[in-house]
A and B are shown apart, each in its own frame.
Chain A
């Protein structure tokens, strides 16, 4: 079946604008994760969902960042009033559920804030 997909692949925006990044997990996967990867660094955890609810949002850097997963499948990461420091690759991953420990990653969205 298809893997995790993310859209758009690249997003360029201006400082202060609002952006939405989309993640389509592997069909049937109940757990979904967002990470942020700055240039030359390892990914950093942002948030994870089990079903529709955010089970852990401790990695969200501030209240400009918000994520939803209203039907327990597709998730959207929303960033308000973007800043240049938000520029990074945003990675999404999914896993079948808490019973498994393997996360399958998408190709990421590269966000550039000018």
Chain B
């Protein structure tokens, strides 16, 4: 079974600084998808960034970028120029290839990010 591990229960960063959130996963598949979701206190999960495993290029979305290391099964999120609105719980998630597991997201335990002004 696939597992996703976030080893940092909490992280903090100063406004305008850079922070990196870690995520590792375990799978026997070669083709899959990885995601970072943000969950503010409102509970609504918001997609931050996604990565297709077959793509070697790391995904970027404005201030958010990932470091995808397929061999190491590592998928970290870097937030540059941190803003107060970035404060939230961040979840790393895995989605397998086609078949019956296609719809299922497997989430990590989450990392609470605090941004200090």
Which A residues are within 8 Å of any B CB, using their own CB?
A: 31, 33, 35, 40-45, 48, 50, 55-56, 58-59, 89, 91, 93, 98, 101-108, 110
Contact = CB atoms under 8 A, between A and B. Distances in A.
Most chain A CB inside 10 Å of its own CB: which residue of B50, B91, B93, B104: B104
B100 A42 contact: no
Given A41-B109, A45-B106, A105 B45 contact: yes
A35 B106 CA distance: 10
A24 B101 CA distance: 23
Contacts of A106: 44
Contacts of A110: 43
A58 B104 CA distance: 10
Contact of B108 (A40, A42, A45, A91): A42
Nearest to B99: A56
A31 B86 CA distance: 29
Interface residues of B, number: 26
A41 B95 CA distance: 18
Interface of B: 4, 33, 37, 42-47, 50, 52, 91, 93, 95, 98, 100-110
Given A101-B95, A102-B47, A56 B101 contact: yes
B102 A107 contact: no
B44 A50 contact: no
B108 A33 contact: no
A48 to B, nearest CB: 4
B30 to A, nearest CB: 16
A91 B39 CA distance: 12
Contacts of B45: 43, 91, 93, 105
A45 B107 CA distance: 9
Nearest to A106: B44
A44 B107 contact: yes
B33 A56 contact: no
Contact of A42 (B33, B46, B107): B107
